[in-house]
Structure 1
Amino acid sequence: MKNLFVILMLILLDGCKKDAVEIPVAPINSDSRDITPAYTKYGILKGAHFCDKRTIKVFTGDHISFNVKFDSTAIYKTADPANQGDINKLYGFSEGYDNHLNSARIGWGWNNNALRLHAYTYADGKRSFKEISTIAIGAVIPVTIHISGKKYLFSVEGKKVMLPRALNDSTVSGYWQYPYFGGDEVAPHDTYIYILDLAN
């Protein structure tokens, strides 16, 4: 009788044993994590112009090279439709202390259902810009900005644009310029940009 009781208990307990069940986990949204550890994740928070990482850092040299990735937070709609074509700033350098006097940056914006990168400069206080390329969300985009005499040379995925430069020095002495939203409006939602500095 005792053996029968033990056998019945083992059968009952075995019937209660839970099988291992794999619980599906949603993939991590790239908007909320670093894409790779080597990239710096820059955040422009809702209601801000400036990014969260913008320490003053001296720039010297004749070029910058970097890879950039945008996630879906680069898709936005401005409060005033007239501002949708405004150019946000991605990355670049000033020549001297004033980026509205002499500087070269890559600009970016979401317009006409595409993410667009622009050459964006000031030369002796005169602003110039020109679209370089449309790019895909999530793609690794190689970018360079070179100085060459009185020209700024921009390259995005091998597509090249040239804009005028006021200075003729063979090297730049200035400051790094970091991601900035605007134009006239602030970021309508948290926006993230991932940049990998290459040999500069």
Structure 2
Amino acid sequence: MRNLLLLTLLGLLGLHGCEVPSGKPEDPTAPVTTLYTIKAGNNYADHNDLSFTAKTTLSFRVTFDSSAVYTNKTTENQYDINKLYGFSDCGSQHNTASARFGWNWRDKALRIYAYCYRNGERISEELGTVELNKPTDYQLSIVGGNYIFTFKGKETTIARGCTTVQSNQRYRLYPYFGGDEVAPHDITISITEIN
């Protein structure tokens, strides 16, 4: 009888325990990681819904895996810069005014770039390389009439085409392959926005 009472009591406690959520409630301000996939034969990544932001700084962590290693069909296209993450600017379309990081696989290294459009003119500057499977931090800021790209502790400044700082017309720019060619195989990129 005592064992039956004990089992009944444990059963009731177990059922009651199922009703109480375990752990802490989810923190809505906690960083969210998104795994973007650019499917073979495509340019655009999934998870690229239109998203406006008034932020003037994007801080994020990126991990590239071995899927970032590729060979273009046309040799000179290996120099094309794929797009990583950033935003449009100046209340314009991104091919008129924008800033984002870019990347490509060239000479056995994954190279990172500052990549901008200023009044429709494309501007890029190589910033360095990253290791595969190693999370790396990036920051892109609007400071007055400039974009500040921070990569591996080094700041690179590129002039903007406007001086407007606050704008609710700025939209996020997501991973994109190309250039002139589409992704030769599925490419996955992990991005965690940390601000």
- The verdict on a shared fold, with TM-score over 0.5 as the criterion, is yes
Q: CA deviation at 1:162?
A: 1.2
Is 1:41 equivalent to 2:35 in the alignment?
yes
Q: CA deviation at 1:172?
A: 4.1
Q: How does 1:152-191 map to 2 (within 5 A)?
A: 152-173=147-168, 174-191=170-187
1:130 corresponds to: 125
- 1:164-186: CA deviation from partner (whole Å, max 9, x where unpaired): 10111223431000000001100
Count, aligned residues: 163
Is 1:107 equivalent to 2:112 in the alignment?
no
Q: 2-side partners of 1:38 and 1:65: how far apart?
A: 12
1:59 corresponds to: 53
Q: 2-side partners of 1:65 and 1:183: how far apart?
A: 25
Q: CA deviation at 1:187?
A: 0.2
1:91 corresponds to: 85
Regions of 4+ moved over 2 Å: 170-173
After superposition, the CA RMSD in angstroms is: 1.3
Which runs of no fewer than 5 residues in structure 2 stay unpaired? 1-30
- With the length of structure 2 as denominator, give the TM-score of the two structures: 0.81
Q: 2-side partners of 1:91 and 1:178: how far apart?
A: 5
Q: 1-side partners of 2:173 and 2:95: how far apart?
A: 11
3-state SS of the aligned residue for 2:164? coil
Which runs of no fewer than 5 residues in structure 1 stay unpaired? 1-36
Q: 1-side partners of 2:68 and 2:180: how far apart?
A: 17
Is 1:79 equivalent to 2:73 in the alignment?
yes
3-state SS of the aligned residue for 2:181? coil
Q: 1-side partners of 2:158 and 2:77: how far apart?
A: 23
Check the 8 A contact 1:97/1:175 in 2, yes or no.
no
- 1:83-113: CA deviation from partner (whole Å, max 9, x where unpaired): 0010000000001241001100100100111
3-state SS of the aligned residue for 1:78? coil
- With the length of structure 1 as denominator, give the TM-score of the two structures: 0.79
* Higher alpha-carbon Rg: 1
2:135 corresponds to: 140
